[in-house]
Each structure stands twice: as structure tokens, then as C-alpha cells.
């Protein structure tokens, strides 16, 4: 978190989410079979595909790394950009939930808790950080 800004606490939750994305991405990449079998709803998308699951792990890991860099450097644009893929991923999960008939089941509760809410919460918190906005000529 950027030193001397007095905004350390505002960056704390986004930093924790980015760290969790980095850890989750690493775990997904290293153990794709466990991800496929243990995460609610994953198997609904078809047979096990280690390549695709590892791609997802890499994207989560990259989002986490870039987000942590943004938090560390105090760059709002970098921090918000790091959440972009996860926001799009969350919208896809909302679409899938609608296509499934809006069931309030374990799959939706997992998605809401770990896929849908975190990226939008991160962006909302980051947008509320006061101070000078980054501008380029």
C-alpha cells in the first residue's frame, strides 16, 4: 500500500482479495482435479479439462499479482484493471444462474460468496478512495 497517503485501510480489503485470488489461482493451477471435483457447479460445464482449468488458475493468479502491484503502488487504474476479468467472470456466473432458473442452491451461494461479490466489492471500494485521480495528458 502506498506509504504516506493515509489511505492504507481503504486498500486493505482489495489487497486481501487480490492475495486470495493469487493463492486460489495457484491452487487451481497446481490441483485442477481437486478444483473440478470439490467446487460446486464446476462439473456442470462438462468433462474434466485440465488445460482449461489451469488457464482459469493462471488468470486468477495474474489478476491477484496485478492487483497486489496496484495496491502496493497506490495505482487506482492498475488496481481496478486487475479486477476486470473477475467482474466479467462474475457477470457470466450471473448469466448461468439465470439460465439455471434462478435456484437458491449451494452453487449459487458459492458463486455469490466467492465469484460474484468480491470483484464488484473491490471495484466499489477502490472507486471510493479519495484523492487525486490518475490522469494522463
Residues 110-133 pLDDT 10s? 999 999 999 999 999 999 987 645
Rounded Cα–Cα distance for residues 115 and 70 (Å) = 21
pLDDT at 130: 79
Indicate if the pLDDT at residue 136 is higher than 80.
no
Residues 36-60 pLDDT 10s? 999 999 998 899 999 999 999 999 9
In a domain, 134, yes or no: no
Most confident of 4-13, 77-86, 122-131: 77-86
In a domain, 71, yes or no: yes
Task: Give the residue numbers spanning the domain of 34.
Answer: 8-127
Handedness of CA 39, 30, 91, 96 (dihedral sign): negative
In a domain, 136, yes or no: no
In a domain, 31, yes or no: yes
In a domain, 16, yes or no: yes
In a domain, 135, yes or no: no
In a domain, 64, yes or no: yes
Domains: count for the chain = 1
Amino acid at each position: 500500500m502506498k506509504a504516506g497517503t493515509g489511505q492504507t485501510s481503504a486498500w486493505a480489503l482489495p489487497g486481501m482479495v487480490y492475495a486470495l485470488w493469487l493463492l486460489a489461482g495457484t491452487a487451481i493451477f497446481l490441483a485442477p482435479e481437486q478444483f473440478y471435483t470439490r467446487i460446486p457447479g464446476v462439473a456442470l460445464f462438462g468433462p474434466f479439462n485440465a488445460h482449461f482449468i489451469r488457464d482459469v488458475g493462471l488468470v486468477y493468479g495474474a489478476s491477484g499479482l496485478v492487483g497486489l502491484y496496484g495496491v502496493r503502488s497506490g495505482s487506482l487504474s492498475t488496481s481496478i484493471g486487475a479486477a476486470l476479468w473477475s467482474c466479467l467472470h462474475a457477470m457470466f456466473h450471473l448469466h448461468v444462474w439465470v439460465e439455471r432458473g434462478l435456484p437458491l442452491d449451494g452453487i449459487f451461494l458459492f458463486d455469490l460468496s466467492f465469484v460474484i461479490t468480491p470483484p464488484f466489492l473491490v471495484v466499489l471500494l477502490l472507486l471510493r478512495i479519495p484523492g487525486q485521480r490518475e490522469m494522463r495528458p
